[in-house]
Amino acid sequence: MSSLVHRFLSEDKGMLNLLFLLIMIFWLLLVFFFDGLFYPQLISIFLLTLTYFFWGVSSHYIDHTLHLKNVLEYLLISFIGFLILSFLLI
């Protein structure tokens, strides 16, 4: 866990990581807050998965390692996450 935190903050893009993490936590809290409300919770889940997608893509972009393969990878994991959350929570 400590290595994860260290890695998370010590990289050049540590601030970017922190920003995206905070945004993700914000959407996470909104998903909790809107529990039982269909559309607000669905939108929060969508924005949560979108944040993860942009986080991954922007990290690769900054490191000059962005390829179509990476974009597809984040897109698919986001899609899977969205499907699971929307079906299990709503």
> By the criterion CB under 8 A, which residues form the site for another protein?
3-4, 7-8, 21, 24, 28, 31-32, 35-39, 48, 52, 55-56, 59-60, 63, 65, 69, 72-73, 76-77, 79-81, 83-85, 87-90
The Cα–Cα gap between 42 and 82 comes to: 9
Q: Residue 14 — φ and ψ, nearest 5°?
A: -60, -40
Q: Of the two residues 46 and 73, which places its CB atom closer to another protein in the complex?
A: 73
The Cα–Cα gap between 74 and 59 comes to: 11
Judge contact between 85 and 52, C-beta under 8 A: no
Smallest separation (angstroms) from another protein to the CB of 56: 5
Smallest separation (angstroms) from another protein to the CB of 52: 4
